[in-house]
Amino acid sequence: MNATTGGKIVIALIFTAAIAAFFYFDLKHYVTLENLKAHRDDLLNYTQAHFGTAVAIFAAVYLLQTTFSLPGGALLTLTGGFLFGSFLGTLIVLVPATLGALLAFLAARYLLRDWVERTFGDRLRTIQQGFAKNSFSYLLTLRLIPLFPFFLVNLVAGLTRISLGTYLTATALGIIPGTFVFANAGRQLGSINSLSEIVSPRVLGALGLLGLFALVLPVLYRRSSVRTR
């Protein structure tokens, strides 16, 4: 067994153990809106008394959740807005969310890419072509439209040939609007009874238009460039 193979096995074991532990200890039971509302005073008091520590703990939890593709991302974003405010909460979420997405992306590419390309090469080709044509706008659109699960986009992107820089930039920019929506909603935590209340048809429509704009803009730019030559 060479070092590369051994490294892949270790990383795979870490991911498997983390996900198994989450469900074995039923941690999903604690990641609920009802539980958050029940402890909101304690959380807020702790944050006010130990702001730096609270930010560090929150960022670490968010990083782990995103890296291992665990449930609770939307609720954590809501919590960030409740504890830190709309704008600061968005910024605090943005950093671990982007870094966690990067780690999930690298894990998918490092662990699964070769096997998936050998096994599902023909089926994967269409997705790879979509990224190859304009990977930035393609990924930006997927990030802007909340109909596409965040963790799934991380993993699928890792199986394509998108560059690391493009992935990071499109991810960081693309998650800002949706993050702000949830962080801003966190300020009215007491009046929220379901996470579905946050993503109204109006909000979905606005994010969808942003996603469509990100997808169409490069095409319009190329056409205008050709006409001006």
Question: Which of 104, 94, 19 shows the shortest CA–CA distance to 67?
Answer: 104
- pLDDT, residue 60, reads 94
The reported pLDDT for the residue numbered 93 is 96
- Angstrom distance (rounded) from CA 139 to CA 158: 12
List the chain residues with pLDDT less than 50. 3, 220-221, 224-228
How far apart are the C-alpha atoms of 119 and 114, rounded to whole Å?
9
What end-to-end distance do the CA atoms of the chain give, in Å? 57
Task: Report the C-alpha gap between 59 and 63 in whole angstroms.
Answer: 6
What's the pLDDT at 226? Answer: 40
DSSP three-state, residue 157: helix
From the number of C-beta atoms within 10 Å of its C-beta (0-12, 13-18, 19+), residue 74 rates as buried
* pLDDT reported for residue 208: 61
Token pair of 170 as six digits: 């499109």
Predicted pLDDT of residue 220: 45
The whole-angstrom distance between residue 98's C-alpha and the CA centroid of its chain comes to 7
What is the average pLDDT value for the chain, to the nearest integer? 78
Q: Round to whole Å and give the CA distance between 162 and 138.
A: 10
